[in-house]
Amino acid sequence: LPEAFLNFLEENGIDPSIYTPRYVRLKPGLEEIEAEMKCKLRKVDWLPGFYSLPPDIQIANSKAYQDGKIYGIDAASGAAVSALKISPGDHVLDLCAAPGAKICMMLDLLGDSGSVTGVDVARHRLAACRTILQKYSLGDRCRLFVADGTTFSLAPVRFREWTSRRPWKERKRAAKARPELIFYGQHSGVVGLSKNELGYDKVLVDAECTHDGSVRHIQKFEHWGWRTLQRRVLDAERTDSLTVLQLKLLRNGFRLLKVGGLLVYSTCSLTVAQNEDIVERFLKENASAELQEIDEAEGWPCKCGRIPKTLRFDPLTSQTSGLFVAKVTKL
């Protein structure tokens, strides 16, 4: 690791020798999967449905992966989804949805009722998310929009009405003003914020960040070049622009949340500026936002953040990617 990044880790109290195992979430059939992959999967006791696997095992070419029985997702990311307490019938918004593993978990938890709306500004990344949903046959109650998460909103118009009942010229004008819909499950419905609708039951804002808490992401810079790390992670100007984006995403996610609903804000950054500072600024400007205890975290290998009721997954102690998690409700 370059000296600049080692200094960054030291400033944030992180041991550079951290090691992160790989995690997968799988559907029933453990013995069959272990036999095919010729390895033992270790159950993650604190997170249902999750297993860790040896770092040298490749899942992409396995039959279990191709048949949609297993997908890779870090346990800390799974914890952020678990903190939402998704129940059947919930209408859930994932405001930074790509590449899609968290949406898969949401839909698994949702079952046969409710819906998940995924939003991301990067069309190619959201297209990959669409491919994953189709691969795992999970898209029936999901819709995906290419849109800016800081301004995303939906009018109270039924999808079929918007596409078929309006005059063509009016539909064309409406389409230009709307986010691009690139995937629509037949039972995903239309849920948004308007005078006639209450908003979403649950919202996840897993915000864009410097990804410095993800050991695997940092390891990629060995190939990308350490100068790229300097620009993407350590550059103060980029960090400042990211914190502006993160606060805007959190504000809009909360705006789209119904009264009594739950919102989880998370990043895989280890910095205070992208985590506690964002949450504190948000709470000061939103009297109707109340920080919630994450009851699901009992038994999780995490620490309390610098703000009470927030959590931090430290790669050294949790053996996951670094992750910050905060949960709020709308009063």
Q: How far apart are CA 152 and CA 178, in angstroms?
A: 9
212 is in an annotated binding site: no
Write out the DSSP string of 248-292: HHHHHHHHTEEEEEEEEEEES---STTTHHHHHHHHHH-TTEEEE
Catalytic residue among 96, 129, 268, 302: 268
268 flagged as catalytic: yes
- Helical (H) or strand (E) element with 104: helix 101-110
108 is in an annotated binding site: no
Contact 91, 201 (CB under 8 A): yes
Tallying the residues shown for the chain, one arrives at 331
Nearest to 81 by CA among 178, 206, 190: 206
240 is in an annotated binding site: no
Dihedral-angle region of residue 274 (phi above 0 means left; psi in -120 to 50 means alpha; beta otherwise): alpha
Across the chain, where does the E strand assignment appear? 22-26, 42-43, 50-53, 70-72, 91-94, 115-120, 142-146, 180-184, 193-194, 197-198, 200-206, 257-267, 289-292, 303-304, 311-313, 323-330
Q: How far apart are CA 275 and CA 75, in angstroms?
A: 19
CB neighbourhood size of 13 (10 A): 9
How open is the CA angle 12-18-21, to the nearest 5 degrees?
Answer: 130
Nearest to 261 by CA among 287, 239, 234, 290: 290
* Residues known to be catalytic: 268
Binding residues: 120, 148, 206
Binding residues for S-adenosyl-L-methionine: 120, 148, 206
